[in-house]
Amino acid sequence: MKFGKEFSIQLVQEWQDAYMDYNGLKQVLKQVLHLKDRQQEIHHPLTSARGSFRRRVSLYRAFSGLTSKCRLGSPRKGDGGGGHVDDEVILVSSVDDEGSEDGKYQTMFLMPSDEGGEYELVFFRKLDDEFNKVVNFYKKKVNEVMVEADELSKQMNAFIALRIRVENPVLGGANLSSIHPVDATKQGEKFNRMETIQEVEMSSEEQPAEGESGRHQQAKADMEGFRPPSLRVLDHVRINVEPESPVSTLKGVLKTTNDKRFSKRELKKAETLMTQAFIEFYNKLRLMKSFSFLNQLAFSKILKKYDKIAARNASKTYLEMIDNSYLGSSDEVSKLMERVEATFVKHFANGNHRKGMDILRPKFKRERHTITFFLGVFFGFSLALSVGIIVSIHARNVVNSPGRHQYMENIFPLYSFFGYIFLHLFMYAVDIYYWNRYRVNYAFIFGFKQGTELGFREVLLLSSGLAVITFAGVVSNLDMEMDPRTRSFRAITELVPLGLLLVLGFITFCPFNIIYRSSRFFLIRCIFHCICAPLYKVTLPDFFLADQFTSQVQAIRSLQFYICYYGWGDYKRRSNSCKGNEIYRTFYLIVATIPYWIRFLQCARRLIEEKDSDHAVNGLKYFSTIVAVATRTTFAQIKTGNMMIAAAVTSVFATCLSTYWDLVKDWGLLRRDSKNPWLRDKLLVPNKSVYFIAMVVNVILRLAWVQSVFGFTDAPYIHRKALTAIVAGLEIFRRGMWNFFRLENEHLNNVGKYRAFKSVPLPFNYEDEDKDL
């Protein structure tokens, strides 16, 4: 693999603008190479083949020896021949910018008068700009992590004090900072000895090369100079570890929250938050170290390319400057990583180094061939079962049979629920595939735990497995209808869809660590947050999932039909009386507005917390959709001219507002002043026509309500239930397309703000300026 491609894969996507522009520098070098080729053709017309000429010339060069330790191009004593290869090519110096604390590196090219020297001069100017950009960004990030390290240190002081107060009540009641180890009580002496032993064990792990006498001396020094941390720090902090839940939210509104509670429960929550903070901080340090290494390697590669193309020896001087610069010589990040590792192992892993490092280091997913194998198996089964369904329908002549209407009214809505879920999973798998292809960091955006996010193969495996059990249920249902021996047991045949629903629910809520438990529980937690809106703080996964529900209105109505069909015993009579029931019709309207109502409440909470007027407009969009859906549902039950006008007007208004929000806010498109007219300045998909096609398709699919308002559901060539399912499937397709561009825009916003890490709440808030107590 070429370095340029490997470089683009390994860099942090959210920091990609801060990395060295390797491809841009390569383009400048291509111009230099092109000029060199033209000069070579002029001076050596008989050797126009560049590769052949260079290869023959290299055969006549002097051999430098297998054990030569001198670097390429270093001057040798006694060289009498003159040649620009051994001459000094560049001078690199550091100059101070006026009004800037950081110096800039500037290169002076000493041979601008040579043929093609102007291109080489452009190369070094761009090289300097890229290096200064990298160094300044790295300095800025180092300063940020040093500030975060100070804050984590203060948090650790409060955490250790809280641990002493909770786990050692006798010691916690005294002010240990005023007690000298020699005059301490028995409890205090026991505590000191235990802490000193732990310190000695940690020092022995960190410095295994020291002798026994050195360790004993260190232990004695620790024993003599050991002072427990001050508990007075707890008087100056407010414990902020209340769980984000409906109860805590209501307590916060009613101002009944107790800010200072010292219990084991609070200690455990504080430890969880501190663990997450250390993991995130260590991951940031690790990526910063990778940032420094990758850029140094990229500069080395591009300079070696320059030496090869220009036949000069400038890389030595420039790389020495890089080694002496802040990027190459700074060791703050490495030392901070060592300190974080030692602190985490000691305080959060009970001194177990392997366990602590296993928690700190990121988990990477491994591709498993079994997933691909079972995906192929399930796909083959679902394909075979779908063919069996077609054959069964044709053999039974279901399309022209008198019971066609009865089947479509009773059985089809039960199985269509699984079809909606399958299609949504399939579209989600397609989205993941293209997010990976275009380097969208969806795992970070959604906040998945490292190593637990599902790839597109895993999601396709789930969707194909759902298709297999659904098609198997349909085939078994049709077989029992066709077999004279089981035809009399109609109640059993009607229970097949209910059994499939129970199986799906059991898999979803299964507490055992099977079938991607982490992802299932993440989904359940987000669903619960949506149900309890606005009592939970709104995060991106919560409102993103609520948006998915707005495209699954028909699936929610299918669940309502399950309750009616089986709860009222209609399955025994193979006929339903749901539509004639006022309660069912009322809830038929209500359940369709629930997803939009959830989003409206989420927008209201974000408006209150963030004071951003965009959330008010977004809330108005969902409220208008609630009115439009309620009006259309009422019109479907009471078909009058006035209701049709009301349904059309409210639907047009909601569609216009939703379309504008989709294209401008969620996708970030329709920007007239952009360098890509009517698109964004930055695009991930190279083909710009894809965005215009997506915008047109989104507008067309937003108008799907027209078929229900203007009576297209009564078409004789297709059943009303089938048409409803098709329209619902098109809405799911639109949502899948929306998902890709929505996350693309979110990813680009993160890139623009260099936001590569999530913010982790800390357990303690200092109440005054005296934070060093």
Whole-number pLDDT of residue 768 = 58
CB atoms within 10 A of CB 391: 12
Whole-number pLDDT of residue 65 = 54
Q: Is residue 554 part of a domain?
A: yes
Identify the residue with better confidence: 91 or 345.
345
Identify the residue with better confidence: 251 or 448.
448
- 209-218, 420-429, 641-650, 744-753: which range is least confident on average? 209-218
Q: Is residue 406 part of a domain?
A: yes
pLDDT band at residue 300 under the 50/70/90 scheme: very high
Identify the residue with better confidence: 226 or 749.
749
Residue 103's H or E segment, with its range, is strand 103-109
What is the C-alpha separation between 398 and 655, in angstroms, rounded? 38
Number of domains in the chain: 1
pLDDT digit string (tens) for 307-366?
888 888 888 889 999 999 999 888 999 999 999 999 999 999 988 999 989 888 887 777
Q: DSSP for 411-464?
A: THHHHHHHHHHHHHHHHHHHHHHHHHHTT--HHHHHTPPTTT---HHHHHHHHH
Burial of residue 333 (CB within 10 Å: 0-12, 13-18, 19+) is buried
pLDDT beyond 50 at 82: no
Whole-number pLDDT of residue 748 = 92
Q: Is residue 650 part of a domain?
A: yes
Q: Is residue 107 part of a domain?
A: no
Q: Is residue 429 part of a domain?
A: yes
Q: What percent of the chain has pLDDT over 90?
A: 45
Q: Is residue 306 part of a domain?
A: no
What is the C-alpha separation between 384 and 388, in angstroms, rounded? 6
Q: Is residue 564 part of a domain?
A: yes
pLDDT digit string (tens) for 641-681?
899 999 999 999 999 999 999 999 999 999 988 899 999 99
Whole-number pLDDT of residue 72 = 39
Residue 692's H or E segment, with its range, is helix 689-702
Pairing of the two strands 237-239 and 764-766:
antiparallel
pLDDT band at residue 75 under the 50/70/90 scheme: very low
Of 39-43, 207-211, 215-219, 305-309, highest mean pLDDT: 305-309
Q: Is residue 247 part of a domain?
A: no
Residue with tokens 């561009």: 741
What is the C-alpha separation between 44 and 49, in angstroms, rounded? 10
Whole-number pLDDT of residue 486 = 58
pTM for this entry: 0.83
pLDDT beyond 60 at 193: no
For the chain, what is the mean pLDDT? Answer: 81
CB 415 within 8 A of CB 721: no
Average pLDDT over residues 512-530: 94
Average pLDDT over residues 544-548: 96
Residue 593 domain boundaries: 369-752
pLDDT band at residue 33 under the 50/70/90 scheme: confident
Q: Give the amino acid at 403.
A: G
Could you tell me the maximum CA-CA distance found in the chain, to the nearest angstrom? 108
